[in-house]
Amino acid sequence: MLTPFNTARLAWGGLGLAALAACVAPPSSTEKKQASAPVECAQIATQFVANGTRITAVESVPAGLTVNGMAQPYPMPAHCKVSGKMNERTGVDGKPYAIGFEMRLPVNWSGRFLLQANGGADGVVQPAYGNVVSGGATTNALMQGFAVLSSDAGHTMESGPAVGLVGGNLFGMDPQARLDYGYAANGALAPMAKQLIATHYGQAPKTSYMMGCSNGGRHAMVAASRYADHFDGLIAGNPGFNLPKAAVQHAWDIQAFSAVNPDIKAAFPPADMKLVADKVLEKCDALDGLADGMVNNLPACQKAFDLKTLQCSGDKTAQCLSQPQVTALQKVFAGPVNSKGEVLYSDWPWDAGVGASQIGFGSWRAWKLQGPIAGLPIIGVLGGGSVAYTFSTPPKPVAGNPPALIKSLLDYNFDTDAATIYATSGAFKESSVQFMTPPNAADLSKFKAKGGKLIVYHGTSDPVFSFNDTRNWYEALNRHHAGNAGSFARLFPVPGMNHCQGGPTTEQFDMLSAMVDWVENGKVPTQVIATARTGVNPDVPADWISQGKPRSRPLCPYPQQARYRGAGDVNDAASFSCQ
């Protein structure tokens, strides 16, 4: 699950050619071979052998509500925890690098493997629980019997006063660390993990999955393109698959909002964004056949809503927006362009989630206008470091304090600086677009032929990665595959949801079970039931509850939408169908 800790790090001498080839090689015969006999947890450190891999710790973890000294929200199963490092080396920046990982192997194993793709700039080995990536998950892959692997994607986040807020991005000074972060680490980890599973259980996994949200969703989409042989099912939530381009939007937004007020949070106080959200609902709520506080007919909404109708005819009041505010929002939602008018990323849809007001990680306001660090937007104080160190080639270092990071984005040039996401330089042989995005993203022929399945879900009010960009990718995928993309890949819009969670939405859902059913039982996901977190998510209205039960809705595969059947409880998913 995307935790506040790893969400906060969003953007956000290398190996020789032989070693790099080993990182991205397809599964070997060793990976597929069954071990002669199971190896007990305590013996793994001495019995497991894999090229470039060093086991650093092994521990038998008992079942319970406390795991490694940390309280858990639900009982965890007994398992073997294995920690290690792959491809240890010294980078061109003189710092030590390795692909750090941990794997948790449950005593009661289901025969399944999950690579847990983490969010943000990685850099920390998150606990390998395989949390179901949506708000308020009540289960995880480890509890369901999966062997789960988590990694730092090939670098360690630095911290301390000397580095400030860019400690998660300094790895961008090393070319190989960039490649590991982009794709190479997962290419090395998946075969090693399967070999480790075979060593412990005496047999290789029957099915293999990857799941993540945000940058973790990007990892999953990259895997569909680069590592079709490694995985049977991939789940990509709110995927930043065009992350370098989306990072250009960070600078675009900062400049647009600062033009209204240098104090960015004051450019649009919460009441003003609520005014926008309320107007969206006024024009769009009933377009799907039911006024229920949710916009399901998103395409029709884009035609029905006109921001200019909110512009004040005179002085600014609580019932209207000033002309500079309207201009800024129009610019932000249209997306970045250079001086020639060339599109640099994507446009964005109008949706009710733009009024989400909490300033914790996840919400529209926190990312765009007012976050938990110095009251500044996350795209500025954390995204600025990613823009400078990870996505610019060569890297363009910036100090790790909020004023310097905001200034770097205010000074960003959409002709010269934006071009650096496509550039190579010296030891940096691949541009950020090359190492971060899926090659030929619309052509997943190899993944399809192998029988792989892909589920992508995306909040329509995501403030970090545009839902429109993901929708456009899916339409291109469908065209490339002759209108048959739905046979192996499905996109589920989540109305009102912000970045992986939050917003006026039904955000509690389990895509992992839907994926397993599709891969192992051939049951195509025609809908996934999602529930609102009433009383927990402050952006969920109090009346989204009936007879003590919170609102539920079917999430529908694009281009279908949830439509009211005309009778029944409006807070019950059973009263809706995907049409």
Known catalytic residue at 214: yes
pTM for the predicted model, two decimal places = 0.93
Predicted pLDDT of residue 36? 59
Question: Quick check: 29 and 89 in contact, CB under 8 A?
Answer: no
Active-site position among 150, 208, 214, 552: 214
Predicted pLDDT of residue 29? 36
- Round the average pLDDT of the chain to a whole number and report it: 92
**Pairing label, strands 207-213, 233-237:** parallel
Cα(543)–Cα(182) distance, integer angstroms: 43
Predicted pLDDT of residue 139? 87
Secondary structure letter of residue 344 according to DSSP: S
Distances (CA, A) of 541 to 3, 298, 506: 24, 20, 11
Overall average pLDDT of the 346-373 stretch: 91
CB atoms within 10 A of CB 271: 10
**Is 401 in a helix, a strand, or coil?**
coil
Question: Quick check: 518 and 492 in contact, CB under 8 A?
Answer: no
Distances (CA, A) of 199 to 39, 41, 208, 260: 6, 10, 16, 60
CB atoms within 10 A of CB 535: 11
Predicted pLDDT of residue 69? 86
Condensed to tens digits (0 to 9), the pLDDT of residues 188-215 reads 999 999 999 999 999 999 999 999 999 9
Predicted pLDDT of residue 4? 32
Q: List, as one string, the DSSP characters of 261-274.
A: -SSHHHHS-HHHHH
Condensed to tens digits (0 to 9), the pLDDT of residues 112-169 reads 999 999 999 999 999 999 987 766 777 899 999 999 999 999 999 999 999 999 999 9
Active-site position among 462, 469, 510, 539: 462
pLDDT-above-70 percentage for the chain: 93
The phi and psi torsions of 549 (rounded to 5 degrees) equal -110, 135
Token couple for 436: 């971060």
Condensed to tens digits (0 to 9), the pLDDT of residues 14-48 reads 333 233 333 333 443 334 444 459 999 999 999 99
Cα(251)–Cα(253) distance, integer angstroms: 5
Name residue 384's amino acid: G
Length of the chain: 579
**Pairing label, strands 70-76, 79-90:** unpaired
Known catalytic residue at 28: no
Predicted pLDDT of residue 190? 98
Token pair 């609520």 in the structure block, residue: 274
Cα(361)–Cα(367) distance, integer angstroms: 7
Cα(350)–Cα(559) distance, integer angstroms: 17
Question: Quick check: 243 and 437 in contact, CB under 8 A?
Answer: yes
**Is 391 in a helix, a strand, or coil?**
coil
Known catalytic residue at 499: yes
Question: Quick check: 246 and 461 in contact, CB under 8 A?
Answer: no
Q: List, as one string, the DSSP characters of 115-181.
A: EE---TT--S------B-SSTT---BTTTTT-EEEEE-TT-----STTTGGGTTTGGGGSHHHHHII
**Torsion sign (Cα): 218, 222, 224, 227:** negative
**Is 188 in a helix, a strand, or coil?**
helix
Name residue 184's amino acid: A
Active-site position among 155, 272, 499, 552: 499
Contacts 24+ apart (CB under 8 A), 473-478: 473/241, 473/441, 473/442, 474/558, 476/441, 476/442, 477/441, 477/442, 477/444
